[in-house]
Amino acid sequence: MASPIKTLRADVVIAGSGPGGATMARELARKGKKVIVCEAGRHNRHFGLTVLTTGMMDRLGFTFSQEGTWVVRPKTLGGASVVFCGTAFKPPKWLKDRYDIDLTPEIEELYAEIPIRTLPDSLVGPAARRIMDAARELGFEWNLLDKWIRPEKCKPNCGGCFLGCRHGARWTAREYIQEAERHGATVLLKTRVDRVLTEGGKAIGVLASASSGDIRIEADRVILSAGGQGTPPILQRSGLYDAGRGLFADPLWLVVGPADVQGSKYDIPMTAGTNLEQDGIVMTDALSPPMFYAGLHAFNGLQGIASLPKALKNYTRTLGIMVKVRDGLEGRVNLDESFSKPLDSDVWAKLNKGAVMAEQILLKAGVKREDLMKTCILAAHPGGTVRIGELLDRDCQTEIRGCYCMDASVLPEPWGLPPTVTIVALAKRLAKRLFTTQEAETASRVAGRV
C-alpha cells in the first residue's frame, strides 16, 4: 500500500456496513460518537432483476471454494442483508450456556424495533401452504417462521426477496446506516480497509484504500465487520495470522419438482419450515430466481446440465424445499479472500437425509417421483473464522486492544441457522459496552487534567 494521502479522525471506525457494522454505527452515532464506516462496495439502488443483483456481488456472484462449492457473496452497502431471505432465528441456547453470552435484552429490543414476526395468512403463498400442509401430514413440525418483513408494505406474488426488496418491506442494514448518517456518521463507499494500525498493542485506527487513494483513519476503537470471508484477511495483515483458520458454511441444496399449483418463485422464500436441531438440518420452502436457479443446476455436473431444460420449462410451477445443514469447522480463509471448504462425510450424510425428507414432502404435495431434482451445493453463511472463545473474548475483542469483530466471523461454533438476529444483538450489546467504556475513559482524562 502506498503512503496515505489523507488522514481522517473518528471515535470509532467500522469496516463493513452489513448487519453487524451497521448496527454498531447506528447505536454509537445515536449516542453522539463520531463514526466512520468504510464499505468496499457501492450503494446499488436498483433491485428486482438478476442482472442488477449480480452487480452487487463479489465477482458478479461467481465465487467458489477451492473445492468448487458456490458461495454468493454480496458486496454492497448493507452487505448480505440486501439480498437475504429475511428469516429470523434466535441464537441457540448453548451461546448462553457455554459462553455466558445472554442476548435476551438485545433480542427483545430488536424484535420490538423492526418488528420481527411471522407472515399473515394473506402473504402465505399457495406453494408455501401446499408444502406446509404436506409436511404436517407427514408429521413434521412445520411452522411459519419469523421474518424481517413489514407485511403492510409487502406485495403478494412478488417473490423478489433474493433480488433485493423493491417495496421497502424487508429490513436491510441500510436502514441502520441511514439512521447513523442522520446522527452524523460518515460512510465512505468503495473504500476497502487493508489493516489495523496499532501502537503498543492497541488499535489506533486503520489503513484503507479508495479510488481517490489511500486513507489513514485514526480512531479510539476499530470494528471489523467485513464478513466471514472479509474480516480474516484484515486481521492477518494486522499480525493475527490464525484468523481465518476454521470455517463453517451452512451448506445447502434445493430439492425441487413441479406440481399442479403456482410455484415457489412467487412466494416469500422461507415462509415456513422446520429446524431439526439434533440432526443439524433446517428445511424451508424456497426457490431461487431464474438465472440463479439455472446456475444451481448447471454447476451440478453433467446430470445437472442435462436436467436444465426440464427444470426451466417447469420453473413457474416448481415447488422448492431448501435443505440447509450444520457443518464443521474444516476449512480456511486465505489472505486473498479465497477459501477452502471441504465437505466431509458427516455433512453429506446430513444433506442426503434432508433430501430424503424433502422428497417425501414434495411427493405428498403432488410432485411425481420422476420429476424430483436436486441442485448443486451452495455455501449459505460463511462464518466462524474469528471465533469467540479463541481469537476473541466475550466482547468480541481481539488480542489487539480496542480492535473488535462484529459479523458472522465471530460465531464460536458451527451454526446452521440464519445468523442475522444474533449478529445484530451482539452488536447492540457491544455498542452499549463500548459507549460505557469510552465515557469512563473520557471522564478519567478530564479528571486527570483538573
- Note down pLDDT in tens along the chain; length 450 residues: 555 579 999 999 999 999 999 999 999 999 999 999 999 999 988 776 666 777 777 777 778 899 989 888 888 999 999 989 999 999 999 999 999 999 999 999 999 999 899 999 999 999 999 999 999 999 999 999 999 999 999 999 988 888 888 888 999 999 999 999 999 999 999 999 999 999 999 999 999 999 889 999 999 999 999 999 999 999 999 999 999 999 999 999 999 999 999 999 999 999 999 999 999 999 999 999 888 888 889 888 888 898 889 999 999 999 999 999 999 999 999 999 999 999 999 999 999 999 999 999 999 999 999 999 999 999 989 999 999 999 999 999 999 999 999 999 999 999 999 999 999 999 999 999 998 876 666 665 655 655
| Distance, CA of 225 to CA of 140 (rounded, Å) | 37
272 and 327 in a single domain? The answer is yes
346 and 304 in a single domain? The answer is yes
- Is 91 inside a domain boundary? no
Give every CB contact of residue 222 below 8 A, 6+ residues apart in sequence: 12, 13, 14, 15, 196, 203, 205, 206, 400, 402, 403, 404
208 and 332 in a single domain? The answer is no
pLDDT of residue 450: 52
* Backbone region of residue 335 per phi and psi (left: phi > 0; alpha: psi in -120 to 50; beta: other values): alpha
What's the N-to-C CA distance of the chain in angstroms?
42
Last residue of a domain, one of 380, 406, 427: 380
353 and 407 in a single domain? The answer is no
- Is 111 inside a domain boundary? no
* CATH number of the domain that residue 435 is part of: 3.50.50.60
The interaxial angle of helices 19-30 and 173-182, nearest 10 deg, is: 30
pLDDT of residue 2: 55
Number of independent structural domains in the chain = 2
Rg (Cα) of the chain, in Å, rounded? Answer: 22
394 and 366 in a single domain? The answer is no
70 and 213 in a single domain? The answer is no
pLDDT of residue 115: 85
- Is 81 inside a domain boundary? no
197 and 184 in a single domain? The answer is yes
Last residue of a domain, one of 340, 355, 380: 380
pLDDT of residue 299: 86
Give strand pairing partners of 186.
36
| Upstream peptide bond of 115 is cis (omega within 30 degrees of 0) | yes
Domain residue limits at 234 = 1-41+172-243+384-450
- Is 86 inside a domain boundary? no
299 and 362 in a single domain? The answer is yes
pLDDT of residue 138: 99
- Is 102 inside a domain boundary? no
